[in-house]
Amino acid sequence: MPESCVVNWGMDLNAALDKTFGAAEAGDWDTFRSMFADDAVMKQNVGAEQSIEAAMKTLPLFTAGGTTLRYENVRRVSGDQNVTEIHDAVFTKPDGRVIRIDICVVVQFNADGKIVRTDEYLDSAAAAALLR
């Protein structure tokens, strides 16, 4: 493991992202939230920057009502206190429809291994299918 992928207490940034995205897949939004600093912000190319608290009001809605989420084709590049991840977010709706969204997310961490910022880039047309 390159030294640049480890922050305070030997925290592995890749392990932190595994835990974060694993919690989202499991619908464990408490664990997901615990991976973020209290003052963390999230930004998507399709919306305004928002606090983690504001995001937590909407993120769980994407897996509500029986919709499942899994991440596939994960690729990562790690830096000193950041990881860029490209993945396919695959949502399966209760009626069997599958919505695949190619996403690139840049994740910044503080020295305690908490996420302080995410910048997410996705295809808005593909994401719109989630609302149908």
Helix H, strand E, coil C: the string for the chain is CCHHHEEHHHEEHHHHHHHHHHHHHHCCHHHHHHCEEEEEEEEECCCCCEEHHHHHHHHHHHHHHHCEEEEEEEEEEECCCEEEEEEEEEEECCCCCEEEEEEEEEEEECCCCCEEEEEEEECHHHHHHHHC
Q: Is the pLDDT of residue 1 over 50?
A: no
Q: Which CATH architecture has domain 9-131?
A: Roll (3.10)
Condensed to tens digits (0 to 9), the pLDDT of residues 8-51 reads 444 589 999 999 999 999 999 999 999 999 999 999 998 899 99
Which comes out higher in pLDDT, residue 102 or 9? 102
C-alpha count within 13 angstroms, C-beta hemisphere, residue 19: 16
Q: Is the pLDDT of residue 7 over 60?
A: no
Q: Is the pLDDT of residue 80 over 90?
A: no
Per-domain residue ranges of the chain: 9-131
